[in-house]
A = this chain, B = another copy of it.
């Protein structure tokens, strides 16, 4: 998707809090315009677009007739309690709404008077999962994560032979996806301690995080009709932050031969805000394969994907124990290190005819970078729990304890482009249910 006037880093908004001069490091300048579903207390949920410390209420935009044409249709489709209808409309319509809001929100816009009554302060609103997620698929696109994990099981041959050919993915659980901030109970389950002859049952003792991005599908495809890689990104609405909480002890005992199940499906937390692919256009980077690695099969390869298939999204994980006054960073990395791109995930998922639907969610898989301090899971950061991480207050953690809170942040910045951000994805561990 090409750059256009909405990406101009010089743009400022009459919503002062959206401007870098007013709010250094703001996630939501006028160049971003991400979508969420929100409400104020005792109001219905509806779609909104973030601008600085405020939200453009799309139900109000639709009701007041602020926009025209495709932008008006987009706002109307986002006026309900999920964004599925908006997602189904496709990129030209999403883009029309983005352009209309960008123009209306700019300093000096003649639309200010019409739009200003549609603004709601962000403080005090609650969010919903922004779409009815029909199916959730989790991928495994970081070769560094796959290698780090594989090394713990197979030191001499960490990476399985299919990894560099197949964008590995599996189906996850949609019902337990919650929006940030989410508190969830530590899961209970079966584990098999080393050397034991029978499994134990109880609360997981190896509760972990997985730093991921979520990818919301826009338009779907009919069953039996694959989406070619050239068209793949036109089916993607946008990205959010995602924490794929994982119980490693349950996972180790259950995962053969059909993959992770109860070790993952007790909770998955996503950020409320979806940053559109159009907003991310300034942060495209080439998709590159290390020297000597196989080139993707033709159905996973395109010139556009090679030129700009990857995205440079900065990612950070922070941990806060109950005794810490503020969260401490435990991982910094970038989405640019992923081995498979979004377009490749879409093309692979549908090449067999599998049908995607508006609101479906992909996870990228844990986004570990090339060095161990860039790892997006405790199992890597602590080398299987053997090297606990040191926290600023002197505590250590091999795995999450009850009361621990984990925050994921994501943002994009580079010279010559406006900084845009994803907000936060926060989750907190509650004690297991009493036996």
Contact = CB atoms under 8 A, between A and B. Distances in A.
B188 A261 contact: no
Interface string A297-333: 1110000000000000000000000000000000000
B169 A190 contact: no
A430 to B, nearest CB: 8
A352 B166 contact: no
Contacts of A258: 138, 140, 168-170, 259-260
Interface string A375-395: 000000000000000000000
Given A174-B134, A175-B134, A354 B266 contact: yes
Nearest to A146: B257
A14 interface: no
**Residue of A170, A250, A353 with most partner-chain B CB within 10 A:** A353
A187 interface: yes
Interface residues of A, number: 66
Contacts of A254: 162, 166, 168
A170 B138 CA distance: 13
A25 interface: no
Contacts of A225: 433
A262 B190 contact: no
Contacts of A265: 171, 352, 354
A171 B354 contact: no
A152 to B, nearest CB: 12
Interface of A: 134-135, 137-138, 140, 160-162, 165-166, 168-176, 178, 184-185, 187-190, 192, 198-199, 201, 223-226, 247, 250, 253-263, 265-267, 294, 297-299, 348-349, 351-357, 360, 430, 433
Contacts of A165: 190, 198-199
A399 to B, nearest CB: 16
Given A166-B190, A199-B165, A262 B348 contact: yes
Contacts of A255: 257, 259
A352 B161 CA distance: 33
Contacts of A140: 258
Nearest to A247: B352
B353 A266 contact: yes
A192 to B, nearest CB: 7
Interface centre among A174, A176, A265, A299 (most CB of B within 10 A): A265
A322 to B, nearest CB: 20
A160 B201 contact: no
B348 A184 contact: no
Nearest to A186: B353
Contact of A352 (B172, B250, B360): B250
A160 B266 contact: no
A343 to B, nearest CB: 17
Contacts of A189: 351-352
Which interface residue of A166, A189, A226, A349 has the most chain B CB atoms within 10 A? Answer: A166
Most chain B beta-carbon contacts within 10 A, residue among A184, A187, A250, A430 = A187
Given A267-B223, A433-B224, A261 B185 contact: no
A253 B176 contact: no
Q: Return the 5 tightest CB-CB contacts between A and B, nearest first.
A: A259-B259, A187-B352, A171-B171, A170-B258, A185-B224
Contact of A294 (B161, B192, B198, B360): B198
Nearest to A204: B352
